[in-house]
Structure 1
């Protein structure tokens, strides 16, 4: 069948091209995303105490819209995506500047842009734009060129600009994730290990200075992470209640809509940052591990795309998107289990909220495009 399609494509049959791309869509991956989105609906239905209008219905509508958008992006030629990557980065930085000047303020932070039906958090979109920009910069560079420190100045600036703007909002958690994402892209592109060692040394040396310039609530998160019981009714309250909910779920959980910590409102932000705790309390260790298995399946597919792509742009794009989603999962789960300080990082496709879902699905649309066009020709590497 693929041979027939290829012949018709060579003769200019666009209908065949669309059908071929439709045939090549990784439908098992799409089904996996739908499974994770369904878990989000069930968890948010419970978070709303059985009232779907609070969170679950909005989640379903957003997911449906984003799913269609994702599939549409998947049809776009990956070479066009590479050409538009610099423009996307400029738009992302422009939105961050707009947030700094006229952004919506919520919970003591200025992180959102009001777009009418959607309050967009540009820092989430910026991570996708950063991955695209770095993939476009590195994809035709030879091994020797990547080893030249001067060649790395511009991509380093590409990382530092959004990190600084996001940190200024203030949004320490997302700025650190953005920096880590940039580091992963540098590593995937072939940057030598000793450069990472030098950067890590500089970060460690600067850590005390950064700590002194943090906001009071940010420093409180770090100190209560080390000793939550030191302030059980203040900064340590969230993580203490989260641990109680996680432990009370046991192996099989308390049952759907039966979670006491969540439904008695002891668990904070149960519909957003602590949604994984809701799942663990009601469905136990089995439900929590099953959810994690599906989430890691998404990450695994990202790296499968990286392995199958014949062009460097697709490989770097897939690695960046997979790393981004993994960092979401790792930070959120580590946060609610008390392994790292609490920060405002949602669990995409499961937590309530539009920005994380929209930007995640845009990223997965680009991932599908990389898969569909995994044999595209980009030309030789540049020395």
Structure 2
């Protein structure tokens, strides 16, 4: 009788909280975060408390991941519309009376100062996944048109701030949801062909369109400079092209095995601008070389592939769309960051996930992975 009424131990009480976690996803995350801490220790050794702050932000991201993973996808679906609405309203508030820094109006103060655009990185895929879930089985062209409207409103507001990096990430997250919802290739292929033709025309006419007296209709002057600098960074090697050139030099000088931990000359002689944030991959490549870069890519590839498996096995349309968009958003982060550092994409403010310094981005990524883990746990619960 005493055994029947005995109280469970604290380990037995905690077990349900940790059961169902996707181990491959966690292992990939811990591998990436471990490499990030090692790189931050070297790249940020003379940046005050950056390593300690990065460690704290990583722990906070893991806490957020754990908490959000306990929330079932059905509850996540319930917050989609309110979160999206709040995010758009705050973006409008930024446009009307936001705080301007370095020529960009991206911040608002409501007790604390923050960037509302960060909310849309999560709210956008949630909202569109909710939209398509509500229309499951009866999707028509007007539903996709409405989805594009839901996407372009916040993207336009963010681009106007201007914040090209964040607007690109929000746009990509939304487009992934629309693609997974079943957008016809008949609509996708023409857009890809037009984009390819536009890029080709841009490269071929570089000498003319990059002249100082030529104005671009859509992009601002500094955005035009970024594109033209990408096409030929040597035209201004000590100015606009400095970031790209130094990043390429650092990665190239790392060779196959790298110069060694804490031995990167480009890094520690401060030739690499933003070496703890946007250009941290250049510092990483210099010290750990091709082998280290491949090790980091293995971690990101494992995380992305596991995320796609979770999306494929998700029990509902909402879960599949959300998991797929979150996973490919990580791909976008990695591709854009590494692309701009290696000189194949324009320089935009996109961090390398769990490697670059930045508390807001780290917590946002932890939140996204928490939702992915929630979907994985719900799939496991249904299988049991």
Is the TM-score greater than 0.5? Answer: yes
**Is contact 2:254–2:289 with CA below 8 Å preserved after alignment?**
yes
CA separation of 1:43/1:312 partners in 2, compared to 1, >3 Å: closer, same or farther?
Answer: same
Whole-angstrom CA distance in 2 between matches of 1:331 and 1:84: 29
Instruction: Provide the residue aligned with 1:34 in structure 2.
Output: 30
Instruction: Provide the residue aligned with 1:46 in structure 2.
Output: 42
Whole-angstrom CA distance in 1 between matches of 2:54 and 2:176: 31
Instruction: Provide the residue aligned with 2:130 in structure 1.
Output: 136
Report the CA distance between 1:285 and its aligned residue: 0.6
Instruction: Provide the residue aligned with 2:315 in structure 1.
Output: 310
Instruction: Provide the residue aligned with 2:304 in structure 1.
Output: 299
Q: What is the number of residues matched between the two proteins?
A: 359
Helix, strand or coil at the partner of 2:79: helix
Structure 1 position 63 matched with structure 2 position 91: no
**Is contact 1:318–1:370 with CA below 8 Å preserved after alignment?**
yes
Whole-angstrom CA distance in 2 between matches of 1:85 and 1:238: 38
Residue pairs, 1:147-162, within 5 angstroms:
148-162=140-154
Structure 1 position 230 matched with structure 2 position 235: yes
Instruction: Provide the residue aligned with 1:85 in structure 2.
Output: 80
Structure 1 position 341 matched with structure 2 position 335: no
Whole-angstrom CA distance in 1 between matches of 2:323 and 2:345: 27
Q: Which runs of 5+ in 2 are unaligned?
A: 1-10, 203-208, 210-214
CA separation of 1:138/1:24 partners in 2, compared to 1, >3 Å: closer, same or farther?
Answer: same
CA separation of 1:271/1:189 partners in 2, compared to 1, >3 Å: closer, same or farther?
Answer: same
Q: Which runs of 5+ in 1 are unaligned?
A: 1-14, 378-383
CA separation of 1:121/1:36 partners in 2, compared to 1, >3 Å: closer, same or farther?
Answer: farther
CA separation of 1:18/1:256 partners in 2, compared to 1, >3 Å: closer, same or farther?
Answer: closer
CA separation of 1:35/1:204 partners in 2, compared to 1, >3 Å: closer, same or farther?
Answer: closer
User: Which residue, out of 167, 181, 185, partners 1:189?
Assistant: 181
Report the CA distance between 1:111 and its aligned residue: 2.1
Helix, strand or coil at the partner of 2:118: helix
**Is contact 1:113–1:121 with CA below 8 Å preserved after alignment?**
yes
Instruction: Provide the residue aligned with 1:164 in structure 2.
Output: 156
Whole-angstrom CA distance in 1 between matches of 2:197 and 2:142: 24
Report the CA distance between 1:182 and its aligned residue: 1.9
Whole-angstrom CA distance in 2 between matches of 1:167 and 1:206: 20
Instruction: Provide the residue aligned with 2:268 in structure 1.
Output: 263
User: Which residue, out of 89, 94, 98, partners 2:93?
Assistant: 98
Helix, strand or coil at the partner of 2:358: coil
Whole-angstrom CA distance in 1 between matches of 2:198 and 2:79: 36
Whole-angstrom CA distance in 1 between matches of 2:95 and 2:302: 36
**Is contact 1:45–1:52 with CA below 8 Å preserved after alignment?**
no
Helix, strand or coil at the partner of 2:354: coil
Whole-angstrom CA distance in 2 between matches of 1:324 and 1:204: 22
Question: TM-score, normalising length from structure 2?
Answer: 0.86
Report the CA distance between 1:171 and its aligned residue: 1.3
CA separation of 1:203/1:95 partners in 2, compared to 1, >3 Å: closer, same or farther?
Answer: farther
Report the CA distance between 1:169 and its aligned residue: 0.9
Whole-angstrom CA distance in 1 between matches of 2:40 and 2:31: 14
**Is contact 2:136–2:317 with CA below 8 Å preserved after alignment?**
no
